Structure 1
């Protein structure tokens, strides 16, 4: 483990907790109002998340980077195991049961940190040339993105698979890939999209798209829009947030919690929450350019910014009828432990790389094959 000293105060990025902690506190207040029992469980999830943050914060990640490929392939094996030994819930095999304790884990959620670290490891060891990656290197990196996409989409969990796909290729776009490759990809997707819709999407996935494109919104979205309208400019007090407390708003503490935010705090509160996420994303992207010579940090910040952007944009868009309803939570805000813990792991890794970055700058340090 790394030695902790006063240097932490110098290099620790305090902007991140300043933006994240208000989000967590507001979320807990709303969950406690809606369901005190869930709030008690959320306390446990928050504690687990901060413990996960602390563990990865003090872990010498770059010195242990040689293990990153092994962790990636272990997680790939877990994803393969889902098809053979997975537990089915609501028509999908996404979980593995731990023997004897009857506790389930979701490999697709555990996979995300190793996915991010694997991209960082590969790109750090072979950075892009001046004009971006050429086809050979692009295909090599694409393999590590497409493999988990195929496995997770087959569970089926197209939402998580698409998030990984967009984050992976979005990171390559930020880091640098020759523009001719992107033009070719856009052309292929445009030509093949009818085939993808007709032959590859599951019936329930087509139904979600149909509900999104139909003139009338689904029941869930309709109730969400009513809750948002009920909030007005400054929101309602707890007893007058009728959509939530009379159980008209479905899944008000998780998937549709943004509608509850607006019902309670109005347009002003909803805008304030969005502004927090926007500042957090912009701050992460600014770190990408601040440390432009360190591709490990650049990949981690790019991945994390894209994860937060996609989760936030999709979750808020579906609550107002601008996107199909999918099970994507609002980062640090929706009730639940898996997403919260995953994002705390992400930020633990990033804070480790930033706070202890000068610990790696010695002449004997190696990351994979790079000195």
Structure 2
């Protein structure tokens, strides 16, 4: 039997946000490619099995294992440079021996970094005026190491997401404002130096130059045509010629938003944006609702920021407001890596919420005397 307290603390609203997005994804992918639809169903089945397992993992008590997972992810990121598999001009994957599968360590690192931040901050909560310089440096090292390794792959998009999500979470948790001001000044001063050093690859510079200039990449032009011709309520499958006639590249992955708008029009685009907006606000509100539970605050803040970055970058990329990078639309784009990553993050959040009564019991017990703790234990 499942403890009633687990069901009482479970966040059903998040589940209601996730299920329609998965349904939209399957609908669009099936229209574009039935073969990929079958593969996506397999990815979803795999994610569901992982969700059931992870939901019962006591993450709050796994401080040592969290550190070990973070260290293993760093090792895998380093191994990418030596035995990594190259796809689409970037070396980001590691093949699993004796199987046909490969893993992308940078995706696993997103979950590992979140747990590391949650574990450390929960055990070392910030003072009233925020973290000072020493604690900020310690936490920053944990963020910067994977950022630099991923940047070297090269994977500028994922590296920037890791960097912004990590420091964005710190900003919401609390760091002394003098540190942020000093950091901003350092960035302004070092910006010309970074331009001279020029750490970017040729294809990355081309993407940025295409974005700055009036020349848009082919896929962005085709996406704009699909969006512009969709009208108020979109087109039928047969009339969605940009996608169905294969004029729009990557219509089922990074540019699936363009196909969604082509099918459901301007009103559909507004609805999808509103759906993501309220989903992000809801997740963010969970962190503020339980102010003293820093593990929950970090997890909720991290996921909300990561979701915001993915949605914002992907849509801006599709409509030509950002350089083209490999950032999919969460839970909608085809692919197992991103889907499993976000389902893992959502499951961890649900786990922290559903088993929060254990945290509340322990917290309240710590504030009572030994006799009161004994009486409460006997009473339960």
Both proteins in one fold, TM over 0.5: yes
Counterpart among 158, 165, 168 of residue 166 in structure 2: 168
Whether contact under 8 Å (1:224, 1:320) holds in the other structure is yes
Supply the distance in 2 between the matched residues of 1:352 and 1:291 (Cα, whole angstroms).
15
Whether contact under 8 Å (1:131, 1:177) holds in the other structure is yes
Q: Look up the SS of the partner of 1:46 in the other structure.
A: helix
Cα deviation, 1:93-125, whole Å, max 9, x if unaligned, reads: 211112222421111111111110000011111
Supply the distance in 2 between the matched residues of 1:126 and 1:207 (Cα, whole angstroms).
43
Q: Does 1:48 align with 2:46?
A: yes
Q: How far off is 1:89 after superposition?
A: 2.4
Alignment of 1:307-326 (within 5 A): 307-326=306-325
Q: Does 1:179 align with 2:177?
A: yes
Rg larger in structure:
2
Cα deviation, 1:263-290, whole Å, max 9, x if unaligned, reads: 0000111111111110011001111110
Q: Does 1:275 align with 2:274?
A: yes
Whether contact under 8 Å (1:208, 1:324) holds in the other structure is yes
Counterpart among 96, 99, 114 of residue 97 in structure 2: 99
The number of aligned residues is 364
Structure 2 residue runs of 5 or longer lacking an equivalent are 367-380
Structure 1 residue runs of 5 or longer lacking an equivalent are 367-371
Q: Look up the SS of the partner of 2:44 in the other structure.
A: helix
Counterpart among 153, 162, 170 of residue 151 in structure 2: 153
Whether contact under 8 Å (2:261, 2:269) holds in the other structure is yes
Which residue is equivalent to 2:139? 141
Cα deviation, 1:280-339, whole Å, max 9, x if unaligned, reads: 110011111101100000000000001100000000001110000000000000000000
Which residue is equivalent to 2:376? none
Q: How far off is 1:78 after superposition?
A: 1.0
TM-score by length of 2: 0.93
Moved more, 240-249 or 177-186: 177-186
Moved more, 351-360 or 296-305: 351-360
Whether contact under 8 Å (1:145, 1:164) holds in the other structure is yes
Supply the distance in 2 between the matched residues of 1:363 and 1:280 (Cα, whole angstroms).
30
Whether contact under 8 Å (1:331, 1:343) holds in the other structure is yes
RMSD of the alignment, in Å? 1.5
Check 1:325–1:253 CA distance in 2 against 1; reply closer, same or farther (3 A cut). Answer: same
Q: How far off is 1:24 after superposition?
A: 0.8
Supply the distance in 1 between the matched residues of 2:217 and 2:94 (Cα, whole angstroms).
32
Whether contact under 8 Å (1:212, 1:321) holds in the other structure is yes
Q: Look up the SS of the partner of 1:4 in the other structure.
A: coil
Q: How far off is 1:184 after superposition?
A: 1.4
Supply the distance in 1 between the matched residues of 2:194 and 2:274 (Cα, whole angstroms).
36
Whether contact under 8 Å (2:296, 2:352) holds in the other structure is yes
